């Protein structure tokens, strides 16, 4: 990619609702970035955030951002159904794009975005923030090094009260977090999913879902997600043949490693064997305090400079969208097992 890039990179943030202000704050702190514009249809949101950053230009029209030749990149934090049209317009205008998770509202849209970014030689990055969490990376390292042994299963709960999204189900809103983490840890897309969900508050908008995932190499996973729960849980158990880990994103000990397990001393004598249970030490390693969003946006800027795909790559974004579509396909067939298309296929970007 041969192009002139300013120092620091000039980035516009589109969408200043619940999440967008976090992008603005973190981009201000990323060394290689400068917030050039903030953009939202809502003038009140523009006023509130604009007051904090008086030097940053404000607009309700994305056309103003896209028509500014001094803008290198656009970061999009708008509702899911607007991701594809806004990201397409930004790529067409020659801007690198960071778009909040999920990458798009369908795999067709996600594929079209990837093709457009490739054609234009631009970076397209979905915001799978947890891939930049120090705790998630610590667990990834334990899995990859073999410390946990064979991964038998992973079970995860991501529930709290709200926030109900207007345009998508809980699977499209919270699902991308666990799906991207599982994909990253196991370095594999599940082959099949099956799901059970209920729309408790708003008709036809599931706000609770229980999702089972099967991976061709062996592991199975269960993901529980809900916008309805009395307490906030962000808890994942990874059960390996050697060790087990509890990753709790709400705890001040986010990673706890249990030297626990079970062994069959002599599997040949099936029927006569005695299982040996092992409950050894529990270790709570120190986890770095870095803010994942800061690391993520730094990776976006590095990618723009190097032309190398970020860790949260567009291909992972597409795989996550395919996983959510498989959840919808399972729900449409009363919870039947649904195939995840192209599972495990690695894409270039």
Ligand X SMILES: NC(=O)c1ccc[n+]([C@@H]2O[C@H](COP(=O)([O-])OP(=O)(O)OC[C@H]3O[C@@H](n4cnc5c(N)ncnc54)[C@H](O)[C@@H]3O)[C@@H](O)[C@H]2O)c1
Catalog residues that contact ligand X under the rule CB under 6 A.
Answer: 14-20, 39-42, 45, 62, 77-80, 82, 86, 100-101, 127, 129, 173
Of residues 14 and 136, the one with the C-beta less far from ligand X: 14
- Provide the minimum distance between the beta carbon of 334 and ligand X in the complex, in angstroms, as a whole number: 27
Cα separation values, 108 from 95, 104, 105, 239, Å:
21, 9, 9, 35
Of residues 10 and 128, the one with the C-beta less far from ligand X: 128
Of residues 75 and 148, the one with the C-beta less far from ligand X: 75
- Provide the minimum distance between the beta carbon of 163 and ligand X in the complex, in angstroms, as a whole number: 6
* Alpha-helical runs (H) found in 40-174: 43-52, 62-66, 83-92, 107-120, 134-145, 170-173
Cα separation values, 164 from 78, 129, 198, 224, 232, Å:
14, 20, 14, 16, 15
- Provide the minimum distance between the beta carbon of 174 and ligand X in the complex, in angstroms, as a whole number: 9
Confirm if 20 and 13 have CB atoms less than 8 A apart: yes
If one counts every other C-beta atom within 10 angstroms of the C-beta of residue 172, the result is 23
Q: Which structure tokens are listed for 104?
A: 């798009």
Confirm if 213 and 221 have CB atoms less than 8 A apart: yes
Of residues 15 and 50, the one with the C-beta less far from ligand X: 15
If one counts every other C-beta atom within 10 angstroms of the C-beta of residue 252, the result is 7
- Provide the minimum distance between the beta carbon of 102 and ligand X in the complex, in angstroms, as a whole number: 7
Q: Which position's Cβ is nearest ligand X?
A: 17
- Provide the minimum distance between the beta carbon of 299 and ligand X in the complex, in angstroms, as a whole number: 14
Of residues 128 and 322, the one with the C-beta less far from ligand X: 128
């Amino acid at each position: 990619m041969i192009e002139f890039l300013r120092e620091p990179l000039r980035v516009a943030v589109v969408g200043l609702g619940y999440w967008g202000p976090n992008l603005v704050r973190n981009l201000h702190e990323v060394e290689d970035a400068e917030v050039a514009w903030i953009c939202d249809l809502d003038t009140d949101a523009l006023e509130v955030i604009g007051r904090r950053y008086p030097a940053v230009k404000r607009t309700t029209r994305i056309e103003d951002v896209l028509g500014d030749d001094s803008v290198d990149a656009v970061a999009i934090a708008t509702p899911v159904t607007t991701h594809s049209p806004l990201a397409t317009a930004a790529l067409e205008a020659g801007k690198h794009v960071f778009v909040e998770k999920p990458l798009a509202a369908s795999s067709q849209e996600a594929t079209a975005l990837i093709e457009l970014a490739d054609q234009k030689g631009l970076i397209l990055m979905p915001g799978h923030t947890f891939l930049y969490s120090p705790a998630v990376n610590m667990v990834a390292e334990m899995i990859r090094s073999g410390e946990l042994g064979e991964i038998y299963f992973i079970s995860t709960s991501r529930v709290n009260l709200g926030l109900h999204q207007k345009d998508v189900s809980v699977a499209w809103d919270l699902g991308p977090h666990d799906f991207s983490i599982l994909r990253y840890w196991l370095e594999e897309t599940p082959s099949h999913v099956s799901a059970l969900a209920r729309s408790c508050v708003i008709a036809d908008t599931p706000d609770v879902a229980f999702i089972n995932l099967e991976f061709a190499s062996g592991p199975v996973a269960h993901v529980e997600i809900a916008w309805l729960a009395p307490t906030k849980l962000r808890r994942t158990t990874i059960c390996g043949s050697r060790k087990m880990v509890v990753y709790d994103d709400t705890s001040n000990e986010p990673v706890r490693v249990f030297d626990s397990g079970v062994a069959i001393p002599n599997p040949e004598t099936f029927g006569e064997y005695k299982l040996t249970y092992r409950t050894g030490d529990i270790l709570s390693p120190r986890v770095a305090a870095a803010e994942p969003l800061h690391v993520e946006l730094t990776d976006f800027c590095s990618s723009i400079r190097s032309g190398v795909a970020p860790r949260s790559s567009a291909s992972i974004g597409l795989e996550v969208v395919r996983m959510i579509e498989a959840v919808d396909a399972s729900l449409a067939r009363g919870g039947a097992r649904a195939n995840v298309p192209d599972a495990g296929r690695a894409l270039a970007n």
